[in-house]
Amino acid sequence: VRIGIVGGGQLGRMLGLAGVPLGMRLTVLDPAPDAPAAAVADHIVAEYEDEAALEELARASDIVTYECENVPVDAARSLARSVPVHPPPNALAASQDRLVEKAAFERAGIPVGAYAPAENEDEVRGALERVGVPAVVKARRFGYDGKGQAMVRSVEEVAPAWRAVARPAIVEARVPFDRELSILGVRAAGGELRCYPLVENRHRDGILRRSVSPAPRVTVDLQAQAERHLRRVADDLEYVGVLAIELFEVDGGLLGNEMAPRVHNSGHWTIEGSQTSQFENHLRAVAGLPLGSTAPRGVAAMLNLIGTVPDADQILAVPGAHLHLYGKSPRRGRKLGHVTLVADDHGDLQARIERVAALVH
């Protein structure tokens, strides 16, 4: 099978690494000549909007998928006229606009924190009356890793927050969450759905730092609640592939934060920590192959390498450690790789996390 991927970042690279053993031939479309996925796939160097490049990708592929949710929906729809595209472009559209996304969650019966749209500074003030303070002003489109967001703790902070965002926005109540979780699932075209165990995620400065799965202290009910949420969204969108939903746990309940219509950073642990990785399962789903087991192998953690890469010798000396480097040049705040740790239980895992965290800072 020939798989085309719009986007050639680290997610495309890890999809490629999962596709090669399945005998898949991968082609990525990415404007960066040094795109991480180029190490494992044919590479069309062009913008996502480039019509000729999209046609070339369609010709080189039996199925097209994407690894980046900022692919223009029009590009995905135009591809879909000549080649099957999974997940459906509608899922892309729903996840690109935080306002549409929140509405999709509500339609699927997923509770969300208070929110209101705002197009200018005055509307931010109006929105605050509805959602309260503290609040977060977020650009509706094209945010990632906490970019395009500003916290508002009082009315005085509205003006600077608006200056920082300065485009159509959503104002969200700051949720006093107990912790952040994510649920990842893979849905086949026929509707079969398999979910991974809930992941506990820690962020700093809006960037994911660390994930642990199965998340500790998760009841059967909480896992079932998360899986119900994911199923509703995935069924509504007639989704095919891996879907991730970021959640806030508050008083034993779950609120939806955002979704990603693609493989997700909080699922990188599945490469070593699960029977079937998210990357393999995504490819199986989009190619119409049977889904693989999402059962964990022991417990796993993932630590992102942000801005700098630690010494490989020291990382790999930690039992259960695996190093993944994306081949990107170092830059402040940039995700350059990750370390996965596997262990038999949470006690051992925690000790290993501390060893790696001390090397990663």
Ligand X SMILES: Nc1ncnc2c1ncn2[C@@H]1O[C@H](COP(=O)(O)OP(=O)(O)OP(=O)(O)O)[C@@H](O)[C@H]1O
**Interface with ligand X (CB under 6 A):** 113, 136, 143-147, 172, 174-175, 180, 203, 206, 246, 257-258
DSSP string, 99-140: HHHHHHHHHTT-----EEEESSHHHHHHHHHHH-SSEEEEES
- Report the partner that residue 142 touches, choosing among ligand X, Mg ion, none (CB closer than 5 to 8 A by kind): none
- Report the partner that residue 280 touches, choosing among Mg ion, ligand X, none (CB closer than 5 to 8 A by kind): none
Residues 78-117 interacting with Mg ion (rule: CB under 5 A): none
The candidate with the shortest Cα–Cα distance to 181, out of 208, 147, 149, 151, is 208
Of the pair 203, 346, the CB lying nearest Mg ion is at 203
- Nearest distance, CB of residue 151 and ligand X, angstroms: 9
- Nearest distance, CB of residue 340 and Mg ion, angstroms: 20
Of the pair 65, 257, the CB lying nearest ligand X is at 257
- Nearest distance, CB of residue 289 and ligand X, angstroms: 28
How buried is 103 (Cβ within 10 angstroms: 0-12 exposed, 13-18 middle, 19+ buried)? Answer: middle
Residue showing tokens 């998210």: 278
* Number of residues in the chain: 361
Of the pair 157, 172, the CB lying nearest Mg ion is at 172
- Report the partner that residue 346 touches, choosing among Mg ion, ligand X, none (CB closer than 5 to 8 A by kind): none
Of the pair 330, 333, the CB lying nearest ligand X is at 333
Task: Compute CA distances 86 → 96, 102, 145, 186, 341, whole Å.
Answer: 16, 22, 24, 12, 31
Residues 238-267 interacting with Mg ion (rule: CB under 5 A): 246
Taking the C-alpha atoms of residue 209 and residue 335, their distance in angstroms, rounded to an integer, is 10
- Nearest distance, CB of residue 111 and ligand X, angstroms: 13
Of the pair 319, 333, the CB lying nearest ligand X is at 333
Whether residue 144 contacts residue 106, with contact meaning beta carbons closer than 8 Å, is answered with no
Locate 272 and state its tokens: 């070593």
How much of the chain is helix, strand and coil, in % rounded to 5? 35, 30, 35
- Nearest distance, CB of residue 203 and ligand X, angstroms: 4
Q: Interface with Mg ion by CB under 5 A: which residues?
A: 246
